[in-house]
Structure 1
Amino acid sequence: MFGLGIIGLAIYVYTVYDVVSSKFGGPNDKLVWVLVVLFLPLLGTILWFLMGKKSTLGK
Structure 2
Amino acid sequence: MFGFEYTGILGLILLVANIWAIVKIFQSGATTGSKVLWIVLILLLPVIGLILWFLMGPK
What is residue 15 of structure 2 aligned with on the other side?
9
SS at match of 1:23: coil
- Of Structure 1 and Structure 2, which has the larger fraction of its residues in helix? 2
1:18 to 1, 20, 24: 24
> TM-score, normalised to structure 2's length?
0.73
Query: How far 1:6 sits from its partner (Å)?
Result: 1.8
Larger radius of gyration: 2
Distance in 1 between the 2:51 and 2:22 partners? 12
Distance in 2 between the 1:20 and 1:27 partners? 9
> TM-score, normalised to structure 1's length?
0.73
Q: Which has the higher contact order (CA 8 A, sep 6+)?
A: 1
RMSD: 1.4
The question of whether the paired residues in 1 share the 8 Å contact of 2:25 and 2:38 is answered with yes
Instruction: Flag structure 2 segments of 5+ consecutive residues without an equivalent.
Output: 1-5
% identical aligned pairs:
36
Give the number of aligned pairs: 53
4+ residue segments displaced more than 6 Å: none
